[in-house]
């Protein structure tokens, strides 16, 4: 996840937290997919709406959204 986000956005700040332990027993977690929180600050988000920033993060993570991530809380900010 980190490598994909760094490659896509060259962030000034990137914090990733695995929150899966907070969702023990949840159906997505039972399938091995994790719950994560991302805080990312990048010039790449300048001029983008919050929805567009989230879509860009989802696009950068690509297949991981189907194979590894069940839930993703995103805080994406422009510099």
What's the predicted TM-score (pTM) here? Answer: 0.84
Tell me the two tokens of residue 76. 């994406």
**Domain containing 15: what range?**
2-78
Rounded Cα gap, residues 74 and 51, in angstroms: 10
**What is the model's pLDDT at position 31?**
55
Number of domains within the chain: 1
Query: pLDDT category, 24, cuts 50, 70, 90?
Result: low
Nearest to 20 by CA among 38, 4, 39, 33: 33
28 vs 14, which has greater pLDDT? 14
CATH number of the structural domain spanning residue 45? 3.30.300.90
Read off the pLDDT of residues 26-49 as tens digits, 9 standing for 90 and up.
554 555 568 899 999 999 999 999
**Nearest 10 degrees: Cα torsion 38, 33, 26, 75:** 10
Read off the pLDDT of residues 46-71 as tens digits, 9 standing for 90 and up.
999 999 999 999 999 999 988 888 88
């Amino acid at each position: 996840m980190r490598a994909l986000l760094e490659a896509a956005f060259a962030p000034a700040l990137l914090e990733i937290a695995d929150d899966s332990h907070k969702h023990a027993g949840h159906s997505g977690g039972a399938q091995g997919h994790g719950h994560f929180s991302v805080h990312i600050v990048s010039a790449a988000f300048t001029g983008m709406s919050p929805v567009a920033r989230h879509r860009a993060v989802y696009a950068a993570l690509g297949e991981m959204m189907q194979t590894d991530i069940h839930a993703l809380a995103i805080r994406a900010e422009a510099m």
